[in-house]
Amino acid sequence: MISLLDATVPFVDRFLGIRLSTRPDYIDDEVLVLLKKYKVSTIELGAQSMSDEVLIANKRGHNSQQVRDALNLIKSYDINVGLQMMTGLYKSTPKLDYYTAEEFVRLKPDCVRVYPTVIMKNTELGDYYKEGIFKPYTLEMSVELCADILDLFYNNNIDVIRLGLHYSDSLVQNCLFNNYHPAFRELCESKIMLRNVKMQLSDKNNIRIYVNPSSVSRLIGQKKSNINALLSKGYSVNIEKDPSLGKYEVKVEET
């Protein structure tokens, strides 16, 4: 660790700081004094779940209280802190995953990352899946859940800096269950937009939807999925841009 940090010394003043990720149970005063000395600005903790049952089942080696303690200790050193969670882990449920997100909100991290579980070949989890011990979430289930989680963080002003795994050929070639999507965040954001539209629909078939200019593609959906969903229900849709609206906010008018 020190050799890696030493390598940053000639360059660190050119940047805002150093971001790193570690386990919650690796955080203590000795480590934080050292990281502060090297101008580490953000520490992300691989919490994964705030359910101790889930953490034990997945052999994480730490518990939920260690996440809380580590986060509070990092904050006391005036270092930004991020939390990472995984949905769909072995022994987890959508209810427990949402509980993890709610616990994150209570802890008030500076940012979060959300990673749906992907089952890889030649892993213990892969063996559980083949044996029928572990039943993963479908892509549709993950999108529904993570749309709820993303909306929760957004409404509590917590920045989600990553939602879904980065694409790689190795990931696609070695996953065992077809629940990975390279544009996962886009699917979740489009789901939020469609929900917000549906809450304002009436019996009138011709509607105009106002949306922030930056969110037009989110409203339309991947391959026009949201527009097609509305068309299938008999709605004729016109889209208008309104810069005063929030990221996921829509306004629906009858025409």
pLDDT at position 14, please?
Answer: 92
Pair 195, 226: CB distance under 8 Å: no
* pLDDT 10s digits, 169-211: 999 999 999 899 999 999 999 999 999 999 999 888 899 999 9
202 and 165 in one domain?
A: no
Q: Which amino acid is at 179?
A: N
Give residue 141's pLDDT band: very low, low, confident or very high (50, 70, 90). very high
What is the CB neighbour count within 10 angstroms for residue 201?
Answer: 14
Mean pLDDT of 96-121: 98
* pLDDT 10s digits, 210-231: 999 999 999 999 999 999 999 9
pLDDT at position 204, please?
Answer: 80
Cα–Cα distance, 35 to 18 (Å, whole number): 9
- Calculate the average pLDDT of the chain: 96
Residue 105, token pair as written in the block: 């909100």
pLDDT at position 203, please?
Answer: 82
pLDDT at position 77, please?
Answer: 97
Residue spans of alpha helices (H) in the chain: 2-8, 29-37, 52-57, 64-76, 94-107, 124-130, 139-155, 169-174, 184-198, 216-220, 225-232
| Per-residue pLDDT at 255 exceeds 90 | no
Residue 35, token pair as written in the block: 């990281």
162 and 79 in one domain?
A: yes
CATH classification of the domain holding 117? 3.20.20.70
Which residues have C-beta within 8 Å of that of residue 171, sequence separation ≥ 6?
Answer: 118, 120, 165, 180
148 and 216 in one domain?
A: no
pLDDT at position 151, please?
Answer: 97
pLDDT at position 48, please?
Answer: 98
CATH classification of the domain holding 232? 3.40.1260.20
204 and 108 in one domain?
A: no
* pLDDT 10s digits, 65-102: 999 999 999 999 999 999 999 999 999 999 999 999 99
Residue 191 falls inside a structural domain = no
Parallel, antiparallel or unpaired: strands 40-48 and 206-211: unpaired
pLDDT at position 41, please?
Answer: 96
* pLDDT 10s digits, 9-38: 999 989 888 999 999 999 999 999 999 999
* pLDDT 10s digits, 125-134: 999 999 999 9
The continuous run of DSSP H or E covering 78 comes out as none
The domain in which residue 203 lies consists of 196-254
CA distances from 243 to 187, 212, 216, 251 (A): 23, 5, 11, 12
* DSSP conformational letter for 165: P
